[in-house]
Amino acid sequence: MKFLNKTAFVLAGCTLGMAHAWADVHVTDPWARATVPGQPASGVFMQLKSDTDVRLLAAESQAAQNVEIHEMAMQNDVMRMRQIQDLALPAGETVTLAPGGYHIMLLGLAQQLKEGEHISVTLVFEQDGKRETQTLSVPVRALTHGGHGSAPAVQGHGHAHGAH
């Protein structure tokens, strides 16, 4: 019995130590844009802030066949959207994913995204070579919703300590 208690204590200490080694990634105001019937793609938007330098490597969702991190950027006086491999989250800075800028693209939607519904989106982060995930319940908002990332907050923040 004493052996089990000591083992549990050591394991608990290791788990706590690992939790402190990973930065908290705070996610605020996540939302996805509603679609019309037959529309094959939509965007997911939010604000991300990390206590330490972290990278957003990927996103996943059952709502779409493919999920990609994208940016909108001017190229030869034309605004273009392109996929990026990852997105840096510098320590202490808020990185905004919003229409017209960085965002998550849902491609090959499984079904129409309707206002008032929620979709699950999992974010994959990397810090010092270690990967962690954070799963969000993302509300779907109207097609006309704040095109400039000015949406009212509807959720608190989550922490990237494994899937929730």
Domain boundaries, given as residue ranges, for the chain: 24-141
Instruction: Give the global pTM.
Output: 0.74
pLDDT in tens, 68-88: 999 988 778 888 889 999 999
Mean pLDDT along residues 129-153 = 74
β-strand partners of 8: none
Q: Tell me the CATH class for 24-141.
A: mainly beta
Cβ atoms of 67 and 58 within 8 Å: the answer is: yes
With a CB cutoff of 8 Å and minimum separation 6, the contacts of 153 are 28, 29
Nearest-CA neighbor of 121 among 109, 102, 137? 137
Report the amino acid identity of residue 121: V
Report the amino acid identity of residue 49: K
Residue with tokens 């004493």, as numbered in its chain:
2
